[in-house]
Amino acid sequence: MPDLSQTAGEVDVTLLDQTVGENLAATASRFPERPALIDLTAGTRLTYAAFDAEVTRIARALVARGLAVGDRVGVWSPNRAEWTLVQYATARAGIILVTINPAYRSHELVYALNQSGCRWVFAPEQYRTSAYREMLEESQSELPRVEQVVYFGTDDWNELLAAGDRADDAALEVRMAGLSPDDRINIQYTSGTTGFPKGATLTHRNILNNGYFVGELCGYTELDVVCIPVPLYHCFGMVMGNLGSTTHGSAMVIPAPTFDPEATLRAVESERCTSLYGVPTMFIAELSHADFDSFDLSTLRTGIMAGAPCPVEVMKQVVARMNMREVTICYGMTETSPVSTQTRADDSLERRVSTVGRVHPHVEVRVITPGTNTVVERGAPGELCTRGYSVMSGYWAEEERTREVIDAEGWMHTGDLAVMDADGYLNIVGRIKDLVIRGGENIYPREIEEFLITHPDILDAQVVGVPDERYGEELCAWVRRQPGAALSEDEVRSFCRKRLAHFKVPRYVRFTDEFPMTVTGKVQKYLMRERSIAELGLQVAASIENA
C-alpha cells in the first residue's frame, strides 16, 4: 500500500473545555503578581490580577449598557492595551468581537460593520494618517445598526470604565454561567474571491485552544515574555500572541501601535523578551536595521515566523543573529483559528527553516488531488485540507460560501498546494486560489479589480501578485483604459489610496489593450504574472527559496 499524505496530531494532550473568560480567571488566580500586559507606548503595565480586574470592569459595563450574548462589537484600531482589554472583556460577557483591520478605509469599514451587524464600535480618534473619528462620522448615514462609538483615550472610554465601577458583579456572573466554549466569540474578515471580505466566525474553543497549543509548542511558562509587534486584529496577534500568552501566564508586550523595527528591538532589550513574533518582512526589517548589533537580544529563545512564505535564508539569520534557537514556523489561515501545522523546538535546523512543520494536536491534515477527495501519496503535490476543533463555525451569515470551503466530512479546503514528506512535514508549494500574500496580508485580486472598474476611465482591470524581496509579493494591476482616456499610473494608485487600505494599492500599474486569454475566454493570470516578472525585472525576487 502506498504511504498516503494524511496524518493526525496527538490526542493524549488535553483540549481545553473553557471559555476565554474562565481561562483568564484561572491564569490570574495562579499567577496574580506576574506581568500580564505591557504597552510601551502608553506606559501601561498590568499584572495578571490587575488585568483580570480591568477585563471584569469593562465586561460589567458592557452588560450594564445592554449588550446581549451574541451581539457584535467592532474594534477598529492599531495595537494598544485597550484593544486587548476589549478582546477579553467581550469574551467574558459573551459578546462577539468583530476585529477590523486598522488600515481599512470607509469603503471596507462600512461593509464589515453592516455585514456583521455591529451595535458598537471601539476605535481611537486618530492614528497617523487614519482619521478614525472623521471616517466614522462621515459614514454615519451608511451605518444604521451602529448605536455607539467608544473612542479610546477620550471621555467615552472613561465613562465606560466608570459604568463598570457602578455596576455590580451579579449580572455578569449570571451571564458567564450561561456561556459555552462552543459559543461564537470572534468574527475576522478575510478578503473574498468575489469582492467583499468574508467573516470567518470563531468560537471560544477554536481560538482558546489554538493559542494554547501554539504556546505549548513554543514551550511557554509564566516566565516567558512575548513581544507582539504583529497586528492584534489578525489571529497572529490576538490568538497566537495574546491567547498563547494568557493560557500560560506569560507576559504580552506591545512594542508600538504599528510595526516599527527599532521599537521592536528596543522592546526585546528593555523587557528582556524571550519570544518574538513576526511575518518575514518584519524580521528582514529588524535584521537590516542600521543599529541592529547595538541591541541586546540575548534573552530571546523562541518565537514565530508565519503569515507569508518564509525565506530559508531569513530563518537562518534569525537563529544565528537574534538568538532565536527555538524559533518556529507556523502554517494556517484565519478559518482554522489559525494554526494547523508548526515546527517543533527539537526539530533539526533544516526542518525548522525549510518546512511549515507537522500537524498540531487534535488536528488532522491531508493532501488531496484538487477537485476530488482522493488523498495523494507522500511527496506528491495537492490541495492541503485540515479538520478538527480549529475549523471555524462558518462565514458569518454566508452558508453557501461556507459550504464552498468546508465539505460534508468537516474538512476545510485551504486552497493551498502542499507536499507532505515521509515524516509528515509539509511544504507549501503554491496556491490554487487567486490569493496574494503581501507582508502577511491576504489579498484577493477580485476585490481590487471590482474597485478599479468603478473608475470612469477604466474599462477593465486584472490584478496579479508578483514577487518582492521585502514583502514576499506585491500587487500588479493590468488596466484597460476607456477609449480616449489618458489615465496615468499615479492616478490609478491615487484613486485606490482614497478608498482602500494601503496594502491593497497596486505597486505596479501596467496599461494594456488586451489580456492574455484562453480559447474559451478565461484570463490567463499565470501568463500575466510571468510577463510582469520579466518586464519589471523581478527575476531575483522570484528565485528566493521559501519554506
What are the tens digits of pLDDT across the range 80-115?
Answer: 999 999 999 999 999 999 999 999 999 889 999 999
- Distance separating alpha carbons of residues 504 and 438, to the nearest angstrom: 9
Domain ranges of the chain: 15-305+317-348, 438-542
Least confident of 58-72, 298-312, 497-511: 298-312
Q: What is the pLDDT of residue 193?
A: 42
Contacts of 95 (CB under 8 A, 6+ apart): 62, 67, 68, 69, 70, 71, 72, 73
> Percent of the chain at pLDDT above 70?
97
Given a contact cutoff of 8 angstroms between Cβ atoms, the answer to whether 76 and 104 are in contact is yes
- pLDDT at 291 > cutoff 90: yes
474: helix, strand or coil: strand
pLDDT digits (tens, 9 = 90+) for 339-369: 999 999 889 888 887 899 999 999 999 999 9
pLDDT digits (tens, 9 = 90+) for 31-59: 999 999 999 999 999 999 999 999 999 99
Q: What is the pLDDT of residue 197?
A: 85
Output the CATH code of domain 15-305+317-348: 3.40.50.12780
Rounded to the nearest 5 degrees, what angle is found at the Cα of 467, between the Cα atoms of 464 and 470?
A: 125
Q: What is the pLDDT of residue 546?
A: 78
Least confident of 8-22, 308-322, 370-384, 484-498: 308-322
Q: What is the pLDDT of residue 520?
A: 45
What average pLDDT score do residues 495-516 get?
A: 93
Q: Which helix (H) or strand (E) holds 339?
A: strand 339-342
332: helix, strand or coil: strand
Q: What is the pLDDT of residue 392?
A: 98
Provide φ and ψ at 216, rounded to 5°.
Answer: -60, -45
Using the 8-state DSSP alphabet, how is residue 393 labeled?
S
- pLDDT at 521 > cutoff 60: no
Q: Pick 382 or 239 by higher pLDDT.
A: 239
pLDDT digits (tens, 9 = 90+) for 193-240: 445 789 999 999 999 999 999 999 999 999 999 999 999 999 999 999
- Distance separating alpha carbons of residues 307 and 56, to the nearest angstrom: 32
Q: What is the pLDDT of residue 239?
A: 98
> Percent of the chain at pLDDT above 90?
78
Q: What is the pLDDT of residue 522?
A: 61
- pLDDT at 441 > cutoff 90: no
Q: Average pLDDT, whole number, for the chain?
A: 93
pLDDT digits (tens, 9 = 90+) for 251-270: 999 999 999 999 999 999 99
Alpha-helical runs (H) found in 31-187: 48-64, 81-92, 106-116, 132-138, 155-166, 170-177
Name the packing angle between helices 20-30 and 48-64 (round to 10°): 150
- Distance separating alpha carbons of residues 422 and 409, to the nearest angstrom: 25
- pLDDT at 433 > cutoff 70: no
- Distance separating alpha carbons of residues 234 and 503, to the nearest angstrom: 15
Q: What is the pTM of this model?
A: 0.85
Output the CATH code of domain 438-542: 3.30.300.30
- C-alpha pair distances (Å), 162 with each of 156, 166, 167: 10, 6, 9
- pLDDT at 153 > cutoff 90: yes
Q: What is the pLDDT of residue 281?
A: 81
- Distance separating alpha carbons of residues 131 and 142, to the nearest angstrom: 17
